[in-house]
Amino acid sequence: VLIVGAFDGVTNDPTRDFLLNHTCQAIFIEPQPAAFSKLREHYGNLTNFSLHNAAIDATSGHRVLYSVPPGVEGLPSWTEQLASFDKEHVLKHEELAPGLSRHIVGVNVPTMTFDELLNKFELRSLDVLQIDAEGFDAQLLAWFPFERIRPALLHYETAHMKDSEQTQVTSRLNAMGYKVMVSDSPTDDMAFLI
C-alpha cells in the first residue's frame, strides 16, 4: 500500500482500519512537518510501515508547500489538513474559515518523483495507491508511472478537481484497464484494475 498525502495517518484516512487489521506493507508519504510528527507517533513503531517526510513532484529537490499550522485559535481544526504547492488553493477556503489567510505559512519541503520512490523502496508491485493531495490528485495520477506498476486499486480525492480534470483522469484510467467507481465518500473516487 502506498499512501501519498498521509497527513497524520488517522484523520480522514480510509485505509487505517484495513492496515491495522491486516498484515501488509505500507509506505506513507507526508510533506508537512507537524503532520509527519503525528504520523510517526501513530505508526513509527510498526516495522511493516515505512514513513517518508517528502512531497511527490515532477522532480526531486525542494519546493514551497503552503499550509496552516495546527492549533490556530479561531480556525476550525480541519484547516491544518490544508497543504498545497498552490497558495491560492489554501486561500480559497477563507470563506469557510475567516481569518485563514493571516495564518498561511510557506515551508520548504523535500520532493521526490514517483520513480525515485519506487526505486527507493524497490517496489515491483502495488496493491493500493491512495492519494489525498488537496487538489493536486489529478497531476499526481498523471505523473504516476503506470507503465512500470499498475496498482490493483486506486483511491484518490476528487473534491478539488475541475470537471475537465476528472474527465481526463477517468478517460486515462479507463484506457489503461481500470474501472472507475464513485466511492462511499462524496469527495473521492476509486478505480479497480480489471
pLDDT tens profile 62-83: 999 999 999 899 999 999 999 9
At 176 the pLDDT is 97
Mean pLDDT of 25-32: 96
At 185 the pLDDT is 76
At 38 the pLDDT is 95
Residue 170 pLDDT > 90, yes or no?
Answer: yes
CA 164 to CA 183: how far, in whole Å? 19
Pick from 21, 13, 23, 160: which is nearest to 90 by CA?
A: 160
Pick from 3, 166, 11, 188: which is nearest to 82 by CA?
A: 11
At 134 the pLDDT is 87
Residue 182 pLDDT > 80, yes or no?
Answer: no
